[in-house]
Structure 1
Amino acid sequence: MENTHNDALKFSYSNIFFSYYFNNERICRNMIKDHMLVFVYSGELLLLEEKNTIKIHKGECVFLKKDNRVNMIKQPNGKEKFSGIFMVFNRNFLREFYQSLDKNKIPQNIEKLKQSVIKLPKSSAITSLFQSMIPYFDSEEKPMEKLMKLKLLEGVYSLLQIDEHFYTCLFDFTAIWKIDIMEFLENNYMYDLSIDEIAHFTGRSLSTFKRDFKKISDLSPQKWLIERRLKTAYDLLKNENKKVSEVYLEVGFKNFSHFSTAFKRQYGFPPSK
């Protein structure tokens, strides 16, 4: 069990996450690295993608396609706090699943899914799958890894049963083409991404990413990200009169103390001034 915040708890079992949020809304700026299936057990989940907003209510489920950027707002509904179950289908798991399929029974000439956020229709298979996992919210006993893998398998089968277009989505193992590093960073510096994840999203191995980054900046990737976030924070504080408590989260810092120290080191005075 991981206590991620004073009013938030997260349990993680073999790529299945059980999340609680006890107070107010929680905004997460996420790059979705792997396909994800999300079930809202209580409260509400808002998904913001560019200009579109999709609301997922209690008892509903949504599929999030990999390699996309989505803002999540996990919020209560009345007195009912948010809690949800997140299933992550990583590349290796899906490769193994694909190898077990009878290729002759896989639908042919299916178009790829264009949407990256897909609210799923009501399905008895999906509902029963997530209902079977609800007891783990309150259990202190860790479930067996084999059992959690079976739940992941059941999740994939449920998606394939709902819509055959998921075949082309889940089993697309094409490598990402290299994309411009600086363009990606300028669009995504505010997100909580590791250097490994940034390398992945720009279509590179970690070593190739570091080598390519040296060609375009004298700074390390970590230093570049900090300075870029601080520059935006400075502009927001000076020109838009935003509160420091709002700005540090908006530009991608998770810790206020870290932000304040870095800001003062960069500009010679604290952000409050």
Structure 2
Amino acid sequence: MTNPAEILPGVIFYSYLSAERKDKVCFWNHHTLVLMVSGQLHLETASQRTEVKAGEMLLVGKNQLGTLTKTPLPGQSYESIVICLQDDLLRKIALEEQIGVEPKYSGPSNVPIPPDPFLLGYFQSIIPYARATVETLPEEMGILKVKEGVKLLLHSLPQLKSFLFNFAEPHKIDLEHFMMSNFHFNVSVERFAHLTGRSLAAFKRDFTKIFAMPPRQWLLDKRLTAARHLIEHKHQKPSAIYLDLGFESLPHFSRSFKKKFGKTVKSVQKYQL
């Protein structure tokens, strides 16, 4: 079985792990509903840090960057059911249910869902398909299950209408604030441009006006400066921080550090000791 397994391709997934895993940077194109069956999940985005434990549910907002740490607990595996709420399907639901334009959503980007017996029962109906080694969920039935989940979600939290049914493209947000909050995520300049609501050319132009240097040069400089601060003042080990600061490998981090500061990471560590 692949991990995560697709119960309904591109829409419903089942994740099973027996050892802790920290995923690389994730980008959520669509709203995503998660149920923890067992184990726990730690989600970190620019604005939130959230833990989800067995039996708890979380709605993750679209157009976000973040990292996931999936942890089995002693004597347990890690199991989760993940439902991707694609915009096309949400548009159909909005038409079927005659949901009009909602006020702009102003709450958190990631919403813990309070305990709800209907939603928990809904997820329980999906688990047998998730654990099956051969049988998959027929597409027609799978779409009906997603629609059912959305309706139950709105029954539990009606205020999520403005969260789920906002189909506007990412607006042209404050570039300086966004980059200062998200520089440590290892994503392409093209993705940063999209997330700030700009074409690549407009992103580079606006970026250079604000930071007086090209995006790639600024990202590297910012990450290395943050790394030196963590090593010198927080006594962090390079092996513990290089991934969280957007570097692909420890050797790449070490070479870049020496090139910028004229000294090795080890020499900085020794100096502090």
Please state which band the TM-score falls in when normalised by the shorter chain: 0.7 to 0.9
What whole-Å deviation, never above 9, does each CA across 1:159-213 have from its counterpart, x for those lacking one?
Answer: 1232322222211224443222222111111124443442233232444324433
Distance 1:167 1:50, change over 3 A: same
Partners of 1:131 and 1:194 lie apart in 2 by 39
Match status 1:238 vs 2:239: no
Distance 1:233 1:50, change over 3 A: closer
Partners of 1:209 and 1:78 lie apart in 2 by 46
Give the unaligned 5+ runs of structure 2: 268-273
Q: Percent identity?
A: 28
Partners of 1:51 and 1:208 lie apart in 2 by 25
2:107 aligns with one of 104, 109, 114: 114
Match status 1:98 vs 2:91: no
Q: What residue number does 2:178 align with?
A: 184
Letter of the 2:38 partner, please give it: S
Q: What secondary structure, in the 3-state scheme, does the structure 1 residue paired with 2:243 have?
A: helix
What whole-Å deviation, never above 9, does each CA across 1:97-131 have from its counterpart, x for those lacking one?
Answer: 323x242xx48987846243222322334433454
Partners of 1:272 and 1:19 lie apart in 2 by 39
Partners of 2:253 and 2:17 lie apart in 1 by 24
Superposition CA RMSD, Å: 3.7
Partners of 2:252 and 2:130 lie apart in 1 by 35
Partners of 1:111 and 1:178 lie apart in 2 by 16
Partners of 2:234 and 2:49 lie apart in 1 by 25
Partners of 2:34 and 2:264 lie apart in 1 by 40
Q: Is the 8 A contact 2:63 2:195 kept in 1?
A: yes
Q: What residue number does 1:6 align with?
A: none
2:149 aligns with one of 155, 161, 176: 155
Match status 1:229 vs 2:230: no
Q: What residue number does 2:252 align with?
A: 258
Letter of the 2:107 partner, please give it: K
Partners of 1:51 and 1:182 lie apart in 2 by 15
Partners of 2:144 and 2:217 lie apart in 1 by 42
Distance 1:264 1:68, change over 3 A: same
Q: What secondary structure, in the 3-state scheme, does the structure 1 residue paired with 2:220 have?
A: helix
